[in-house]
Every structure is written in C-alpha cells, then in structure tokens.
Structure 1
Amino acid sequence: MVANLYVSRQSDVPVYRQIVTQLTYMIEMGQLHDGERLPGSRLLAGNLGINRNTVAHAYSELRSRGLLQARGRNGMVVVGGQQARSASAARERARAVLEAAARECVELGLSTSDIQELVADFAGRAAGAVPRVSFVECNADRAGYFSGELEKHLGIPVEPLVLGEFEAADQHHDLVLTTFFHLAEARGLLRRPTTDVIAIVVAPHIRTLLEIAKVPRSRTVGLWYATDDQAASIRDSLTQAGVTNIEVLTGTTDEHLRGIDLVVVPSEMPDLSARFAGRVRVIEFGNVLDAASLRMVSDVVRDLRPVAPPRTRTRPHTR
C-alpha cells in the first residue's frame, strides 16, 4: 500500500509534509492497519528518490501524532489507526467542503498555489496559528518601514523590533527577519530552539543608484543618516558597487557641505532633507526588499503555517 505514495518537488508543500499527509490519510481510511510495518527510512527514500532525512522527518512527525511507533528491528509500525479513523467522518466532511471551494476558486481563475496559500492563511487564522514574525533593525524608522513592506507581501503581521530597545527574554517568535548587517547580533539575542533567525537582502532602488552615478568623480556624495552604523553600512554597499566618492557627513553646516554635490538621506526619514534645503541637492535612498529574499521568506512562513493537503496524482489502472 505504501507503494502508492507519491511526492512532487514542484509542489509548494514541503516533501516531508506530503508524506505525512498521505500516510495519515491511508491510516484514517483503513488502507494501513494497526501493527502494519512501514518501510525503513532508507528504503522508502530510495523508492521515492529523496533524501533519507526527509523520510525520517516525516516519520518523526507521525510518531508525535501517535500514528506510528518505533519497535526496534521491526522498524516503524502503525499504532493509531483506530483513533485516526474515529475522526475520519469530520475530516471527510471538511474534505468535501474544501473540494467544493477549491473547484469554485479554479473557476475564478486562481492557480493551485494561490488556492493552497489562501487555505493555509484561513486555516492558520481560524486556529489562531498565524506565525509570529518580527523584523529587527537598528532604528525605529527602518524597522517600521521594512516591517510594513513585509506585511504587504506576506499578508500577516510583522512586528518591528529595534536593537537595544527590547528585552530578549520577553520575545517569543516563530521567525525573526533582519538584514545581513545585524544577523549575528539578532541570532545572539533571539535564537531559540523553535525560532528561525534569517537574513534578507535590502538593496538600493535602481533610481537611487542612477542618481548617485550621475555625480562626477571629482565631486562627493554625502550620506546623512540617523546613526553612524547605518550610514557606514550604506557607504560600504555603494563602495562595493564601485561608487568610491562617498563621505559620511558628521554635520550639516556649510563647512561640512563643502565639495558635496549630492546628499543622500534615508527614504524612511524624508524630514532629514529639510536640513539641506536650498544649499545642496538631496535625494532619498530608496530601499527595496530583494525579490529572491521575499520568495524565500514566503516559503518559510508557508512551512510554519498549517497547509492544505496536497492533491495526489491519480494513476491509471493497469491490468
């Protein structure tokens, strides 16, 4: 019966979760009975063409659900069939409801991944299981700005945290996001067994780079930021991009602006530009979240949420 297992690497659902979902279904439907032995992780992984650790992960979750039990040389054995089948009526009703809704969504033109994401989002909200996500930065303006941008993309709340302004012991998150510049510090403060701390790429908007590139090499681009660390980070990024006529400003007097052709201020703090009005050209350093980083974060959040059962492939009947 386990030979009917099928996994898809093109699915948005992680492979280990596909295995968990299909085996759970087989146990609930009585296709796998109590006492029935499952293939070892190495054998099943070989048959499916996947990593052995992926199967081990799936078996571990099924054990935690009380559906499997490790019995020495007998390997993994089904033990929770009766309990699982007692809940099958409710699941069948739910399956019928979801199938009808999914068909209507398809008729509306939604893709499979769109439908899965919507179901996962609604299920998480209904169960109160929306992942708690935060974004960590060195000042409140940047933390608030990027948290807002991430909320628009992910569709869930993202809490802004400012380094030095919160008690690490009071923070309990499923996922902590930050920039590579602050990754080590954020991990040191917030890393826990149940918390992922990952860095995302924050890149300058192409319009910002074009404006800076127009400045003659004989002139200087000034950076005026709320903190020296933030200004130094921007300077280093521009230097790596080949822009070397950069100077971090230490003040806003005419003396400080001598030889400065352009002053760059952060887009999340446009009021800073008022200090240079009428004396020098000012642009806002527009930041954008890297598209690949956003896709990666979406995948991580999707994995943290409850997910809809994958649609198994119907195999043709052969005699």
Structure 2
Amino acid sequence: MVTDVSVSQHSDVPIYRQIVMQLTLMIETGQLRDGERLPGSRLLADNLRINRNTVAHAYRELRDQGLVEARGRHGMVVVGGERARSASAVRDRARAILETAVRECAGLGLAPARIRELIADLTAGTADDFPRIAFVECNADRAAYFSEELAAHLGLPVEPLVLGDFEPAGVHPELVLTTFFHLAEVRGLLRGPATDVVAIVVAPHIQTLLRIARVPKNRTVGLWYSTDDQAVSIRDSLTQAGVTNTEVLHGTADADLAGVDLVVVPSETPELKRRLAGRVPVIEFGNVLDAASLRMVDDLVRDLRAARPRTAHR
C-alpha cells in the first residue's frame, strides 16, 4: 500500500510534505488502517530514491499529528485512522456549507475579494467571542478523545495538548482542563495571570467496573495502555476497588500474554482491541466525563464569555 507513494523532484511542495500528504490521505480514506506498519525510513527512502532524513522528517510530522506512533522494533504504526476519518468528514461538511454560502454571495453580485474579506471578518469575530480552551493529557489518544468529548458538550473548540509535546511559552489558552493526576504538573507549566488550570474527573463506566469485578480471583487480568503511567494508574484504582489480580503489560507479543486470561484496554484506542482479537478476551475500559465536572466547566466558560467584550456585531 505505502509502495504507492511517489514524489516529484520538480514540485514546489517539499518532498517530505508530499509524503505526509499522501500518507495522510491513505489514512483518512481507510487505505491504511490502525495497526498497520509503515515501511522503515531507510526502505522507503531507497524505494523513492531520496534521502532517509527526508522520510524521517515526514514520519515525525505524521507522529506529531497523532496519525502514527513509534513502537520500538515494530517501527512506525498507524494509530489515528478513525480520528482522522472523523476529522475529514467534518472538513468535507464544512466545505460544503461554505461552498453554498459563497455561491449565494456571488449570486448577490459580490466580488471574490469582498467575499474573502467577509469570511475573514466573521471568522475573526467569532473567534474573539469564545474563550480559548485546552485539555492536557500525557497521551495523544486520550488528549484527542476527551478534547472531542468536551468540545461536543460545550459546543466550542477544545485544543488537545500532550505533556512533553508542546512548548508552554507558545500556548496561551484562557482555560486549561486536565485530570487530577496531572494537575500539579500542568499548573506548573501553564498557570498564569490570564490562564485558569482546572482538574476534572474522568471516571470509569460502572459497567466496566462490574465486568472486571466478575473476573474470578484466580485469573490474571492484563492492563495494556500506551504508557505505563496510565496502566499503573488504572491498576491502583482497581486495587482500591478490591480487584488485585491485575498485571501491567509492556507489550502484546505471545510472551507478554503468557498466563494472562483477559486484557483491559482503553476504549479510546480501538486499534489495541483489534490487535488482540482472537488471541485473548478483551475488556474495553470505558471512561466518562464526570457530570459534576461538566457543570463546573459550563459555569467557568459562561463566566469567561461574560467577562470578554463581544466583537461579532462590530
């Protein structure tokens, strides 16, 4: 599939960007599915007759976009396909809406330059009316998942930020949301005169806890998360709830699964479930945003909007 990638030395688009664009399209259209491996940078560079560093640059760009991640000797693996396809559908819908509006404006006799000015003015005005909100997590999948959940609840954009992947000096949201687990670290990075940092509760579905609690005590429950910190956090939470037959997994090879009767994976990363399908029973550890936390966020956003001057009617 990735062998279909081609580059042009005569294009104005940088070669690494050509690779990024083609692989992104393959991921968005489902030609590359979550869990599929990309060829090594050396192999792809040899096939395209380009410098290996150019391919490495393209892979870093895809990783920064949350579309792939490095998995040791397994190389770069696609992880953001479902999220990319969802974002692509949203862009297509937005484009259709704008296309209809532009055609109507042109029908009124407005010149293209004037239509662009109106769109720019409306966009700037709308952005000024809404507070800038971010959600910070230590994992790209969780950051994106809960940012989308918060955005859907608030009806406002919520920017996902991943600890260690952004420069605090370049981030200026008015409201930063995170979990209690990361509150102290995020406050140390981002809290300032114009920024509030607030922790919200991310709780497991009660059905998830009930399913795990039904597992016999003599069976081993494996916990497989993208980071050990998350797996340990889940293990500690289950231990407090009386579930002690758990084990943090560091991989999904047969050797890692030896003696494990079932595996708990996060619901926001369905590719993990697919990777284990047919090998071991899997329980998705579903999480929900706490209702009281959402009400608090609603109040904070309402206060922020009330405190800022409105500009859309200028």
Pick the TM interval, shorter chain. Answer: 0.5 to 0.7
Asked if residue 139 in structure 1 is aligned to residue 119 in structure 2, the reply is no
Q: Which residue of 2 aligns with 1:251?
A: 251
Deviation at 1:206, TM superposition (A): 1.5
The higher-RCO structure (CA 8 Å, 6+ apart) is: 1
| Worse overlay, 246-255 or 209-218 | 246-255
Q: Distance in 1 between matches of 2:268 and 2:146?
A: 9
Q: Which amino acid aligns with 1:257?
A: L
| Residue in structure 2 matched with residue 161 of structure 1 by the alignment | 161
SS state of the match for residue 306, structure 2? coil
User: Which is higher, the Rg of structure 1 or of structure 2?
Assistant: 1
* One-letter amino acid matched to 1:228: D
Deviation at 1:307, TM superposition (A): 7.2
Counterpart in the other structure of 2:272: 272
What's the counterpart of residue 189 of structure 2?
Answer: 189
Q: CA deviation at 1:127?
A: 7.9
- Report the alpha carbon displacement of residue 211 of structure 1 after superposing the two structures with TM: 1.4
How far apart in 2 are the matches of 1:305 and 1:268? 30
Q: What SS class does the counterpart of residue 254 from structure 2 fall into?
A: coil
- 1:91-102 matches, within 5 Å, as none
2:149 is the counterpart of 1:149: yes
Looking at structure 2, the residues matched to 237 and 125 of structure 1 have their Cα atoms a distance apart, in angstroms, of: 45
CA contact (8 A) 1:137 1:162 kept: yes
How far does the alpha carbon of each residue in 1:34-66 deviate from its partner, in whole angstroms, 9 at most, with x for none? xxxxxxxxxxxxxxxxxxxxxxxxxxxxxxxxx
Give the TM-score, by structure 2 length.
0.56
SS of the residue 1:203 aligns to: strand
Write the mapping of 1:1-319 to structure 2, written as runs, cut at 5 A.
128-306=128-306
In 1, Cα distance between equivalents of 2:250 and 2:141: 20
Cα displacement string for residues 212-232 of structure 1 (whole angstroms, at most 9, x for unaligned residues): 111101111110111111111
TM-score by length of 1: 0.55
* CA distance 1:214–1:125, change in 2 (3 Å): farther
Q: 1:261 to 1:125 in 2, by over 3 A?
A: farther
- In the alignment, the residues of structure 2 paired with residue 251 and residue 305 of structure 1 have an alpha-carbon distance, to the nearest angstrom, of 46
Amino acid at match of 2:208: T
Aligned equivalents of 1:237, 1:225: Cα separation in 2 = 14
Structure 1: distance between partners of 2:127 and 2:216: 58
Residue 167 of structure 1 and its aligned partner are, at CA, apart by 0.5
Question: Partners of 2:143 and 2:125 in 1: how far apart?
Answer: 25
- Letter paired with 1:258: A
RMSD: 1.9
1:215, 1:261 within 8 Å by CA — same for their partners in 2? Answer: no
Q: Which runs of 5+ in 1 are unaligned?
A: 1-123, 309-319
Paired with 2:269 and 2:143, the residues of 1 have a C-alpha distance of 12
Letter of the 1:304 partner, please give it.
L
Alignment identity in percent? Answer: 74
Number of residue pairs matched by the alignment: 185
Q: Could you say what secondary structure the match of 2:284 adopts? A: strand
Greater share of residues in helix? 2
Distance in 1 of aligned mates of 2:159 and 2:145: 11
Q: Quick one: distance in 2 between partners of 1:265 and 1:155? A: 29
Contact 1:215 1:262 in 2 (8 A): no
How far residue 125 of structure 1 moved from its aligned partner, in angstroms, is 6.3
Letter of the 1:226 counterpart: S
Q: CA deviation at 1:126?
A: 5.1
